């Protein structure tokens, strides 16, 4: 609004603005339009205080000045002060004239973590401007905030205090191949700073590019101005990048000419014998009031991505690209990167990840704060990217986070305006993120394979672990509970390392050696993990107790009725053979001593063969891996008597010790006959103990390529002799 218009307005609304106050409004508007937001904020506040709100026109002017004051604070990243002034504008009903007051107020509230109120304002803005996607993004961000917090990654973030001071430090970028030198823009009071005046856009001194170097201990040394001809000037320089050869540098320069609304530009400099040569401005924009900056160059320095507010974009500042033509020594007309990357908001600070992905900051996608960092996947070998993903918490915060540079896939540096900064609140500092090594542990539980419940643990088992990396081998013995555990070594290092394979072998005297062992791998794992492995050993002398298998009286059919499913009982054997592919098992059937020896022997052989036929013909087990044997009544069973109760397994306490007072009983015919008349129920119970099917390990080294054929007689049942 020019002076003549202000005077005419004053004549019409004398009650709102006096002639003496017209100049104050004019000065405020002039500073605001020129982008001198630091000075404009105070002038807008003063003008606001002088406007009376007695008439509709006075109310509108006061609301307009409150909105402009808020905008000054928003543009200088003082969101709390901005929120105060947006709320004043809303109380003056200024949203009826400019609905953006609701959107921007909601943005400030979101950065202050007042999510409920922010969401209400986003919805109010959406009701007035339903087609603006920024309202939907804001609403989604409010709903997702707690989700970001709860699903924070394992990254740690820390302020790089050695590089930060009271002013601005931002946009880190490595300037050497070894990545031991880092450049960044700074406005802090440092020796060699060229920009002495205050930047009206940032309220800080004009920035220069400084460089710091890591010492031998990994500490950052005192930053110094970048060496070169006219790289740093009285203007504001920062946000730079360098090609893979370290020969071509691109950086952003914003002019310091007062009262001129001039945008920023990208400059290019070549490395010479005495440092960086005098830079040249790239011709990328149609007029001087527009801004281009935040360069991001390919390794060959022929493809350049940058941020700009030039027309033809998707929203505020977009990411654009241009390509270099060597023949004409010129850069192509900029091309917008399209809706795959750009939004109705702002996209800024692009950089390339080590794998070629595109990293950039955006406030136009759902996120935690105003600017969040995103990573877009590179599409093949093309200079195209898609599917931007939010880095999440803690790399992003409710404050502005931007300008990331990777060291590797676990570590990098970025800029943040979060709490914990060295300088004033809202001023950017350099931060480092790091993904700690994944934490792994290993627990081995060793049990007796003859116990289908896996409750019989084995102590004193030697466990040897061998890793695929150099010097990765250690061993231990299982405790009474059959387990051994490893996490940290005495020096604090972890036993189980990242990106490694491990082989675990177990052995103990009196048990068959487990030559197959077990294995684990941490290759490709991106999370902590506690490895727990159950491993078994077969005792050399102890039989394998099988679940009860019953047969009809004087027959060998597998009994399946309402009381028992003998076929299901044999699934234990099937699982045992499947889980141990080298196992060859002797399957023996026993009878009680009633009847004659010859009869019982044939009956037991046929019953063993019935089990064999089921496992081979119905379950598909290799017939060479089972040997059916009839034992008749020759091997009476051993049971254990404790407290008047007979048990199949020897009772032990929690520590694996045999309980005192336990009797070991061999169920011979003479012992059982003492209960034949006095306790018929017990007599039959003991007889049933003897009628059983058991397994015994023959070998654990079955080889299907050279094993001899199975005996065909195992499939032929013998006729029973006459019982005597």
Candidate CATH numbers 3.30.1330.60, 3.50.50.60, 3.40.50.150, 3.20.20.210; the one for domain 544-715: 3.30.1330.60
H or E element, residue 126:
helix 115-128
Q: What is the pLDDT of residues 348-366, one digit of tens each?
A: 999 999 999 999 999 999 9
Integer Cα distance of 364 and 403 in angstroms: 16
| Buried/exposed code over 126-153 (b: 16+ C-beta within 10 A; e: otherwise) | beeeeebebbebbbebbebbeebeeeee
CA nearest to 74, candidates 82, 84, 66? 82
* Cα–Cα separations (whole angstroms), residue 376 to 80, 254, 384, 391: 32, 28, 9, 10
Integer Cα distance of 235 and 199 in angstroms: 9
Maximum CA pair distance of the chain?
A: 135
Contact 251, 266 (CB under 8 A): yes
CA nearest to 430, candidates 409, 415, 449, 411? 415
Note the pLDDT of residue 370.
Answer: 87
CA nearest to 558, candidates 577, 540, 571? 571
Q: Where are the beta strands (DSSP E) in 160-258?
A: 169-174, 181-186, 208-213, 224-225, 236-242, 248-254
Note the pLDDT of residue 36.
Answer: 85
Note the pLDDT of residue 546.
Answer: 83
CATH class of 440-537: mainly beta
pLDDT-flagged residues of the chain (< 70): 1-21, 257-261, 425, 723-724
Domain ranges of the chain: 3-150, 156-434, 440-537, 544-715
Contact 369, 362 (CB under 8 A): no
CA nearest to 403, candidates 370, 364, 430? 430
Q: If phi over 0 gives left and psi between -120 and 50 gives alpha, with beta otherwise, what is residue 75?
A: alpha
Phi, psi (degrees; rounded to nearest 5) at 352 = -100, 135
SS (H, E, C) 423-456: CCCCCCEEEEEECCCCCEEEEEEEEECCCCCCCC
Strand partners, 280: 268
Contact 16, 57 (CB under 8 A): yes
Compute the chain's Rg from CA coordinates: 41
Note the pLDDT of residue 258.
Answer: 59
Contact 476, 506 (CB under 8 A): no
Who contacts 676 (Cβ-Cβ below 8 Å, separation ≥6)? Answer: 683
Note the pLDDT of residue 438.
Answer: 92
Tell the burial category of 442 from Cβ atoms under 10 Å away from its Cβ (0-12, 13-18, 19+).
buried
* pTM of the complete model: 0.70
Note the pLDDT of residue 7.
Answer: 28
Considering the domain delimited by 3-150, tell me its CATH architecture.
Answer: Alpha Horseshoe (1.25)
CA angle 230, 232, 234 (to 5 degrees): 100
**Structure-token pair, residue 381:** 């070998």
Contact 185, 168 (CB under 8 A): yes
Note the pLDDT of residue 11.
Answer: 31
Note the pLDDT of residue 260.
Answer: 56
What is the topology classification, in CATH, of domain 156-434?
Answer: Tachylectin-2; Chain A (2.115.10)
Q: Is 134 helix (H, G, I), strand (E, B) or coil?
A: helix
**Structure-token pair, residue 241:** 């990048």
């Amino acid at each position: 609004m020019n002076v003549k218009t202000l005077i005419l307005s004053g004549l019409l609304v004398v009650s709102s603005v006096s002639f003496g106050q017209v100049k104050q409004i004019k000065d405020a508007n002039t500073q605001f339009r020129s982008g001198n937001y630091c000075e404009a904020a105070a002038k807008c506040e003063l003008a606001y205080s002088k406007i009376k709100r007695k008439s509709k026109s006075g109310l509108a002017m006061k609301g307009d000045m409150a909105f402009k004051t808020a905008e000054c604070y928003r543009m200088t990243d003082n969101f709390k002060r901005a929120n105060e002034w947006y709320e004043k504008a809303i109380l003056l009903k200024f949203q009826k004239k400019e609905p953006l007051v609701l959107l921007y107020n909601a943005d400030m509230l979101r950065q202050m973590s007042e999510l409920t109120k922010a969401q209400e304002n986003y919805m109010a803005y959406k009701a007035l401007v339903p087609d603006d996607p920024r309202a939907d993004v804001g609403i989604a961000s409010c709903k997702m905030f707690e989700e970001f917090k709860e699903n924070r990654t394992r990254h740690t973030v820390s302020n790089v205090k050695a590089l930060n001071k009271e002013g601005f430090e931002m946009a880190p970028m490595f300037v050497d191949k070894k990545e031991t030198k880092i450049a960044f823009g700074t406005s802090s009071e440092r020796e060699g700073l060229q920009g002495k005046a205050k930047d009206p856009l940032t309220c800080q001194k004009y920035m220069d590019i400084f460089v710091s170097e890591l010492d031998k201990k990994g500490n950052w040394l005192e930053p110094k101005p970048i060496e070169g001809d006219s790289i740093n000037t009285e203007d504001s320089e920062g946000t730079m990048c360098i090609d893979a050869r370290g020969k071509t540098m691109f950086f952003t320069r914003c002019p310091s000419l007062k009262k001129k609304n001039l945008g920023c530009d990208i400059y290019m400099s070549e490395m010479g014998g005495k440092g960086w040569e005098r830079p040249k401005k790239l011709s990328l924009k149609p007029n001087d009031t527009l801004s281009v900056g935040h360069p991001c160059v390919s390794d060959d320095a022929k493809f350049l991505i940058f941020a700009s507010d030039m027309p033809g974009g998707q929203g505020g500042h977009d990411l654009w690209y241009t390509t270099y033509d060597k023949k004409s020594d010129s850069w192509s007309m900029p091309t917008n990167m399209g809706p795959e990357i750009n939004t109705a908001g702002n996209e800024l600070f692009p950089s390339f990840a080590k794998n070629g992905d595109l990293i950039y900051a955006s406030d136009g996608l759902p996120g935690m704060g105003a600017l969040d960092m995103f990573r877009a996947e590179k599409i093949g070998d093309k200079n195209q990217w898609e599917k931007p993903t939010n880095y999440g918490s803690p790399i992003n915060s409710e404050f502005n986070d931007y300008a990331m540079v990777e060291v590797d896939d676990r570590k990098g540096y970025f800029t943040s305006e979060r709490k914990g900064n060295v300088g004033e609140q809202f001023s950017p500092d350099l931060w480092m993120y790091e993904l700690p090594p994944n934490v792994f542990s290993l627990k081995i539980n060793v049990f007796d394979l003859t116990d289908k419940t896996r409750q019989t643990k084995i102590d004193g088992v030697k466990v040897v672990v061998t890793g695929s990396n150099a010097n990765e081998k250690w061993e231990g013995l299982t405790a009474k509970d059959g387990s051994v555990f490893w996490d940290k070594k005495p020096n604090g290092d972890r036993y189980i390392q990242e990106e490694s394979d491990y082989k675990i072998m177990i052995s103990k005297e009196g048990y068959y050696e487990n030559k197959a062992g077990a294995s684990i791998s941490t290759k490709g794992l991106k999370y902590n993990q506690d490895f727990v492995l159950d491993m078994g050993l077969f005792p050399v002398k102890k039989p394998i107790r099988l679940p009860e298998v019953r047969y009809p009286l004087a027959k060998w059919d597998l009994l399946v009725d309402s009381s028992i499913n003998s076929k299901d009982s044999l699934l234990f054997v099937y699982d045992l053979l499947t889980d141990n592919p080298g196992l060859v098992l002797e399957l023996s059937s026993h009878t009680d001593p009633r009847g004659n020896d010859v009869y019982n022997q044939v009956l037991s052989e046929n019953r063993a063969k019935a089990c064999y036929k089921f496992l081979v013909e119905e379950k598909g087990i290799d017939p060479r891996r089972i040997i059916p044997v009839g034992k008749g009544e020759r091997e009476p069973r051993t049971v254990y008597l404790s407290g008047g109760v007979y048990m199949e397994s020897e009772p032990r306490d929690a520590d694996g010790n045999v309980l005192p007072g336990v009797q070991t009983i061999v169920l011979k015919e003479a012992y059982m006959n003492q209960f034949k008349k006095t306790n018929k129920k017990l007599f039959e119970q003991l007889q049933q103990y003897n009628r059983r099917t058991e397994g015994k390990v023959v070998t654990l080294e079955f080889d299907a390529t050279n094993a001899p054929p199975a005996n065909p007689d195992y499939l032929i049942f013998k006729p029973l002799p006459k019982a005597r």
